[in-house]
Structure 1
Amino acid sequence: MNTKYVTLVVLTLVCLTALVVLVGREGLQEQNISMVKWDKKPCPKGVITVLDKGRLCNQIFEYVSVWALARRHGLLPFVPNTIHNKLRGLFAHLSIPPLSELIDSSGDCPKLNKNSLNRASSDDLFDVDDRALRTNESEDPFVLREYIVLIRLIVPVLDEVKEEFKYRPEIVTVAQTRLRWSRSRLEADHRSRETLFVGVHVRRDDYFRAFQAFGVTSYADAGYYRHAVSWMLRKLTSEATSAHNIAFVLASDDPAWYGSAVFFLGEVETPEVDLVMLSSCNHSIVDYGTYGLWAALLVNGWTVVYDLSALNPHQTILEINGLLRVAGLMSKWAMLT
């Protein structure tokens, strides 16, 4: 009898233990499920990015356009890895993360995939503010088109742009070495005195193909640069309160042309250094394109721009030359032919 009683007690304890284990497992599973549900991040709203296409300064303006819109409307900015990788070699600090960080952290978000992030939301530059406002409350990303230059948003915050986009010190050192070389040559002939630097950018190369597509037939030639140099000399001389040297620092994508046609310092193999050098000058002479535009925006003095609209159909010009849009917004920018 005692043996049966002991056996019954043991079986009862075993059953109770098994029941506790089962209940514990089910509770743990429910807890794990609830933890998974609780840990799952919601898909982000207000994402803005841009398509990447073009050369160095196309990428700069694609990045800056994202930065300006995100800053203006409180959006969540990202840029393609190709842009980020290129620009981190030029700028000391990039506040916008690469697009891969968004993709890696949003794997379960159906609206944040390679298809949606590689297709422009709109080609219309006039509705970007409205679209940005809608994006703030949407999981659909706002993807800016390639080659975008949001001049009207960038110009009002130029002081902040100059603070945000500081060049890497090692590139600045090389650029300053070139400028010192130019200064020393002038001082050898014209005594040691203050030197004013005028950055001159000559854009040719692939721009002529763009000209043909837009029906542009008249463009900057050697006569324009001579006119611009004469204008700049008169302006700087009339404003001067003391004697100084004036150094014209040239950079171009077509050394064969300017070597025979114009008045050298830049090297076509080092576009980043040339850009920093032009940006470090006191004044600018430019023709068209984002390279000259970016350099001139960072310069605080006078800028002469080639007036592409003077001899070409006006309706096509603003599409191809953002410099003309800037000239209408800046008090110290003059248009010449």
Structure 2
Amino acid sequence: MGEYATLYALAKMNGRQAYILPEMHRQLAPLFRITLPVVSGDVVRSVPWRNYGLHDWMSEEYRHIKGKYVRLTGYPCSWTFYHHLRQEILQEFSFHDHVKEEANRYLAGLRGQRRNVTYVGVHVRRGDYVWVMPQVRKGVVADKAYLEKAMGYFRAKYQEPVFVVTSNGMEWCRENIDASRGDVYFSGDGKESLPGRDFALLAHCNHTIMTIGTFGKWAGYLAGGETVYLANYTLPNSPFLKIFKPAAAFLPEWIGIDADLSPLLNGTQRQKRPSPQSLSPSLARLVRCNRTFGGGRSRGWCQAKAGELVTD
């Protein structure tokens, strides 16, 4: 989604026609009413593209991208690229009717006897990040205390909040999120659900609690209410900060709650290294790099194709 939104915005800035790759279309089209045309594989292979790498925040030079056929690369997901086009981006990421209906039907079923319900989507990123954050990025994932603080914020502010928890580590969530108040519901009957279904549920809530990762970030962006996020979740010397600027990742009005870095500082956060098969594709590429975030040849090898710009 970040790559699509960035491509959409940069094409407008540069007066170009944007095209997306078939893989991106396959990922996004089942959920959203996206409009950018798809370039065929034969065309991709035959056109003399100029590769143009992007870092993860907007820079002035991106307003003046040269070349007739430009392939954007990188993992851009910063609001600084596209937030000035927010309404257009929201239109691009409008859900198909059947997706909206399913999400709203599920949420309506949680209302019960509540008259003034406020839905808060909660996304807890676990999976490969449980190992990658401490071992590769010198950071932490969200813990029980963070989620209690974030949920406490909404409980204090809204009369009848309902928390809808989604995660790729639902067992951990059920063990660490207190559901005794009767206001917490685990998506998928407490088991991992389909990512598209979970995302639609989050985006149709009134507000968002995210942890780390772009899944929760985009859910908060589409939901449009208050978003609480895990802040300062890496050590100051984290190599991740070479390519990631928190101010460019989280909207100024979003509410950050500082992470507890003590397990990392005390050396108590040790996780077994996962197999390459269990990693997400992007993280598998990063882990395989000799200099994961250091630039140079390995940085280029880690890049992904974001999309194409073509001069009319």
TM normalised by structure 1 equals 0.66
1:149 partnered with 2:73:
no
* Alpha-carbon shift at residue 216 of structure 1 (Å): 1.8
- Residue 154 to residue 260, structure 1, CA distance change in 2 (3 Å): same
1:228 partnered with 2:156:
no
- Residue 126 to residue 256, structure 1, CA distance change in 2 (3 Å): closer
Alignment of 1:318-333 (within 5 A): 318=241, 325-327=248-250, 329-333=251-255
Tell me: higher relative CO, structure 1 or 2? Use CA pairs within 8 A at least 6 residues apart: 2
Structure 1 counterpart SS, 2:35: coil
**AA in 1 matched with 2:207:** H
* Alpha-carbon shift at residue 219 of structure 1 (Å): 2.9
* Alpha-carbon shift at residue 177 of structure 1 (Å): 1.5
The question of whether the paired residues in 2 share the 8 Å contact of 1:198 and 1:284 is answered with yes
The CA distance in 2 between the partners of 1:74 and 1:126, in whole Å, is 20
* Alpha-carbon shift at residue 125 of structure 1 (Å): 4.8
Aligned counterpart for 1:246 among listed residues 152, 161, 177: 161
Structure 2 counterpart SS, 1:301: coil
The question of whether the paired residues in 2 share the 8 Å contact of 1:293 and 1:323 is answered with no
The structure carrying a bigger helix percent of its residues is 1
The question of whether the paired residues in 2 share the 8 Å contact of 1:197 and 1:248 is answered with yes
Alignment of 1:21-40 (within 5 A): none
1:313 partnered with 2:236:
yes
* Alpha-carbon shift at residue 289 of structure 1 (Å): 0.4
Aligned counterpart for 1:283 among listed residues 189, 207, 214: 207
* Alpha-carbon shift at residue 74 of structure 1 (Å): 1.6
The CA distance in 2 between the partners of 1:246 and 1:162, in whole Å, is 25
Aligned counterpart for 1:202 among listed residues 124, 127, 134: 124
Aligned counterpart for 2:37 among listed residues 62, 77, 97: 97
- Residue 321 to residue 124, structure 1, CA distance change in 2 (3 Å): closer
Structure 1 counterpart SS, 2:65: helix
The CA distance in 2 between the partners of 1:303 and 1:169, in whole Å, is 25
Structure 2 counterpart SS, 1:99: coil
**AA in 2 matched with 1:122:** G
State which structure, 1 or 2, has the greater radius of gyration over its C-alpha atoms: 1
Equivalent residue number for residue 133 of structure 2: 211
Structure 1 counterpart SS, 2:149: helix
The CA distance in 1 between the partners of 2:34 and 2:11, in whole Å, is 14
Equivalent residue number for residue 305 of structure 2: none
Alignment of 1:75-114 (within 5 A): 75-91=16-32, 93-100=33-40, 103=43, 112-113=47-48
Equivalent residue number for residue 130 of structure 1: 61
* Alpha-carbon shift at residue 121 of structure 1 (Å): 2.1
Equivalent residue number for residue 167 of structure 1: 95
- Residue 127 to residue 304, structure 1, CA distance change in 2 (3 Å): closer
Equivalent residue number for residue 302 of structure 2: none
Structure 2 counterpart SS, 1:154: helix
* Alpha-carbon shift at residue 102 of structure 1 (Å): 8.3
Structure 1 counterpart SS, 2:220: helix
Equivalent residue number for residue 33 of structure 1: none
* Alpha-carbon shift at residue 173 of structure 1 (Å): 1.1
The CA distance in 1 between the partners of 2:70 and 2:23, in whole Å, is 18
Gaps of 5+ in 1: 1-59, 238-243
The structure carrying a bigger strand percent of its residues is 2
CA RMSD in angstroms, aligned pairs only: 2.7
**AA in 2 matched with 1:147:** Y
Structure 1 counterpart SS, 2:187: coil
The CA distance in 1 between the partners of 2:228 and 2:101, in whole Å, is 27
* Alpha-carbon shift at residue 200 of structure 1 (Å): 0.5
Structure 2 counterpart SS, 1:304: strand
Q: How many residues get paired?
A: 250
Gaps of 5+ in 2: 179-184, 260-312
Structure 2 counterpart SS, 1:134: coil
* Alpha-carbon shift at residue 66 of structure 1 (Å): 0.7
1:262 partnered with 2:177:
yes
* Alpha-carbon shift at residue 225 of structure 1 (Å): 0.1
